[in-house]
């Protein structure tokens, strides 16, 4: 049993991991938050610590006795990475052994403007350990969540089902013209399982923590889609040069209906997200590595066709 501190514990992915940890019944969990708890946010079996990320003493008090820190601070709420840097500094001073920064996505974040704080944190951690290892850390990188292809149907308790450029409900897709890019898609359930096993892993955490559920191309997903949905998909192709200038020349685009995005910014964010994801995919940003697959060889990941067949069986 270890004490696990979770920063940004009210977030969706954090909630899923907390539930999985609680189901194990082995660890003490403290949730770090900027605000006081309310009955809707408190989670039975955890403790709540109100912290000020600008106040090291506040963080030190909350991290006393913690073995592992999992961070889920939202990137756009910490644009300079200040909160995360203060958190890891306090973790080191408090004697925390392991730290997982707020990654939870792509291997290469440099192509996504909204992920710039992740890059700042990576650089900071490298600098901290440059002369001597002062904290063990891993960058949990599952690629894109496979669950998004189930939109609008829920496959987990908390995750918001984002619309995707390959739209299974309406049997349509937007892809890059002339490029059959590949990406890693990992089921959220597999991410949570791997994180729980990583916490209990007795060896040293790898710095790069790739979690490779399924490495598939856009054409392979379309073929699976047409198989499980029973009809061809209508496909629109966008040119790379147009996306680089912010032009979306398609009759539709997926909407980013996430709670963290203000309603007045949804249109702009949706277009930026589509362009960024397609360009990022073309650059290999979502082709995450498989470090945790190799460290946990007995774990069986959810296959994409099996997952989608289960989700869409009998759906109109």
**How far, in Å, CA of 15 to CA of 60, rounded?**
23
Residue 297 burial by CB count (10 A; 0-12/13-18/19+): exposed, middle or buried?
exposed
Per-residue DSSP letters for 171-239?
A: TEEEEETT---EEEEE-HHHHHHHHHHHHH--SPPPSEEE--SEEEEHHHHHHHHHHHHSSPPEEEEE-
DSSP state at residue 141 = E
pLDDT of residue 111: 86
Q: How far is CA 267 from CA 31, 150, 195, 253, in A?
A: 33, 22, 34, 10
Please, what is the average pLDDT of the chain? 94
Structure tokens at 279: 């360009």
pLDDT of residue 267: 83
Q: Which fold has domain 144-186+214-288+297-312?
A: UDP-galactose 4-epimerase; domain 1 (3.90.25)
Residues of the chain with CATH 3.40.50.720: 3-137
- Convert the pLDDT of each residue in 155-180 to its tens digit: 999 999 999 999 999 999 999 999 99
Count of all residues that appear for the chain in the document? 316
List, run by run, the mean pLDDT of 10-residue segments along the chain (316 residues). 93 95 95 83 87 96 98 90 97 98 95 90 98 98 98 95 96 97 97 98 98 98 98 98 94 83 79 93 97 98 98 97
**How far, in Å, CA of 126 to CA of 135, rounded?**
10
Residues of the chain with CATH 3.90.25.10: 144-186+214-288+297-312
Q: 3-137: which CATH architecture?
A: 3-Layer(aba) Sandwich (3.40)
pLDDT of residue 68: 98
- Convert the pLDDT of each residue in 208-220 to its tens digit: 999 999 999 999 9
pLDDT of residue 266: 79
pLDDT of residue 256: 81
- Convert the pLDDT of each residue in 118-149 to its tens digit: 999 999 999 999 999 999 999 999 999 999 99
């Amino acid at each position: 049993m270890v004490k696990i501190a979770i920063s940004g514990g009210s977030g969706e992915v954090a909630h899923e991991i907390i539930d999985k940890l609680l189901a194990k019944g082995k660890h003490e969990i403290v949730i770090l938050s900027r605000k006081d708890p309310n009955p809707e946010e408190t989670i039975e079996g955890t403790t709540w610590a109100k912290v000020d990320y600008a106040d090291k003493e506040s963080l030190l008090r909350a991290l006393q006795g913690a073995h592992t820190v999992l961070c889920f601070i939202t990137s756009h709420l910490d644009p300079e990475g200040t909160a995360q840097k203060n958190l890891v500094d306090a973790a080191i001073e408090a004697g925390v052994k392991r730290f997982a920064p707020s990654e939870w996505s792509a291997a290469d974040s440099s192509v996504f403007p909204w992920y710039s704080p992740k890059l700042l944190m990576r650089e900071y951690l490298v600098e901290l350990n440059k002369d001597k290892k002062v904290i063990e850390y891993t960058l949990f990188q599952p690629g894109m969540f496979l669950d998004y292809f189930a939109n609008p149907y829920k496959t987990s308790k908390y995750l918001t089902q984002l619309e995707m450029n390959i739209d299974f409900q309406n049997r349509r897709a937007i892809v890059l013209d002339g490029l059959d890019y590949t990406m890693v898609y990992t089921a959220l359930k597999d991410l949570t399982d791997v994180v729980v096993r990583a916490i209990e892993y007795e060896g040293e955490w790898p710095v790069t923590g790739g979690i490779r559920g399924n490495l598939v191309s856009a054409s392979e997903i379309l073929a699976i889609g047409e198989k499980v949905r029973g009809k061809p998909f209508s496909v629109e192709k966008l040119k790379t040069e147009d996306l680089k200038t912010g032009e979306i020349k398609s009759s539709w685009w997926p909407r980013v209906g996430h709670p963290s995005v203000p309603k007045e910014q949804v249109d702009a964010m949706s277009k930026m997200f589509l362009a960024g994801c397609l360009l990022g995919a073309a650059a290999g940003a979502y082709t995450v590595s498989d470090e945790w697959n190799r460290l946990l060889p007995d774990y069986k990941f959810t296959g994409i066709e099996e997952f989608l067949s289960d989700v869409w069986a009998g759906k109109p």
